[in-house]
């Protein structure tokens, strides 16, 4: 299965659901604009995401991560697909619409939140993954 963006090296399995997963990436929008968090440790912008806690449903993990890392209260939430980094983790991809953006919660790795028309230049992960997902969402 090939990604939908030539610069992305990870095979994204759009529309599929894995047998097992351990993390979620939340491609988050508010009022038609991208919402990303600035990671204080890694120093770049990234979509909210993180590991599943206990037996959370994927939607619970996505909603929790969107709040922890962007202060977002998620309304609409849909499954997009997944990608796997062999030997590390299997990540579900969720498309989310924030119904509200609250103050960024303290005590998590994000030190700021940004709302953008396009992806910012200073991404934590500049591997083409975000571009591939956004390309797919725009074509849907």
Q: What is the pLDDT of residues 36-76, one digit of tens each?
A: 999 999 999 999 999 999 999 999 999 999 999 999 999 99
Rounded Cα distance, 106 and 77, in Å = 24
Domain definitions of the chain by residue range: 12-116
pLDDT of 5 over the 50 cut: no
Q: What is the torsional sign of CA 52, 53, 54, 57?
A: negative
- Phi/psi for 56 (5° steps) reads -50, 145
Residue 116 bridge partners (DSSP): 34
CATH of 12-116, one of 3.90.79.10, 2.130.10.10, 3.40.50.300, 3.40.50.280: 3.90.79.10
As a 3-state breakdown, the chain gives helix, strand, coil percent values, each rounded to 5, of 15, 40, 40
Give the per-residue pLDDT at 125: 86
Q: What is the torsional sign of CA 28, 42, 69, 86?
A: positive
Instruction: Give the global pTM.
Output: 0.92
Name the pairing type of β-strands 33-39 and 23-30.
Answer: antiparallel
Please give the DSSP secondary-structure letter assigned to residue 136. H
């Amino acid at each position: 299965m090939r990604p939908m963006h030539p610069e992305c090296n990870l095979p994204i399995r759009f529309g599929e659901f894995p047998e097992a997963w351990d993390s979620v990436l939340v491609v988050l929008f508010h009022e038609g604009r991208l919402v990303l968090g600035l990671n204080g440790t890694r120093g770049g912008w990234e979509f909210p995401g993180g590991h599943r806690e206990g037996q959370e449903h994927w939607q619970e993990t996505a909603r929790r991560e969107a709040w922890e890392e962007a202060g977002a209260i998620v309304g609409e939430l849909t499954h997009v697909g997944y990608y796997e980094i062999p030997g590390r983790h299997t990540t579900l991809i969720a498309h989310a619409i924030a119904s509200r953006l609250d103050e960024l919660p303290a005590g998590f790795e994000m030190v700021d939140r940004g709302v953008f028309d396009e992806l910012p230049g200073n991404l934590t992960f500049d591997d083409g993954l975000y571009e591939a997902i956004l390309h797919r969402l725009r074509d849907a």
